[in-house]
Amino acid sequence: MTEHTAINHEDIGTAIARITRSVRKPIVLVGLMGVGKSTVGRRLAGILGRDFVDADDAIEEAAQRKVSEIFEEFGEEYFRAGERRVIARLMDEHSGVIATGGGAFVDDETRALILENAIAVWIDCDIDTLVERTSRRNTRPLLRTGDPKEILSRLYAEREPYYSQAQVRVESVDGPHHDTVRRIIEAIDQCL
Ligand code: S3P
Span 69-112, pLDDT tens digits: 999 999 999 999 999 999 999 999 988 999 999 999 999 999 99
Task: Please tell me if the CB atom of residue 102 comes closer than 6 angstroms to any atom of ligand 1.
Answer: yes
pLDDT of residue 78: 96
CB distance 159 to ligand 1 below 6 Å: no
Could you tell which of 28, 54, 56 is best to mutate to test the pocket of ligand 1, judged by most ligand atoms within 8 Å of the CB? 56
Q: Is the confidence at residue 176, as pLDDT, over 90? A: no
Distances (CA, A) of 121 to 63, 68, 76, 153, 179: 27, 25, 24, 20, 15
How many Cα neighbours within 13 Å face the side chain of 47? 23
In 3-state terms the chain splits into helix, strand, coil percentages (rounded to 5) of 60, 10, 30
pLDDT, tens only, 3-34 = 555 555 568 999 999 999 999 999 999 999 99
Q: pLDDT at position 50, please?
A: 97
Closest CA to ligand 1's atom 9:
101
pTM reported for the whole predicted model: 0.94
Hey, what amino acid is at 56?
Answer: D
Report whether 31 contacts 120 (CB < 8 A): no
Contacts 24+ apart (CB under 8 A), 9-18: 10/186, 12/182, 12/185, 12/186, 15/185, 15/186, 15/188, 15/189, 16/47, 16/48, 16/185, 18/189, 18/192
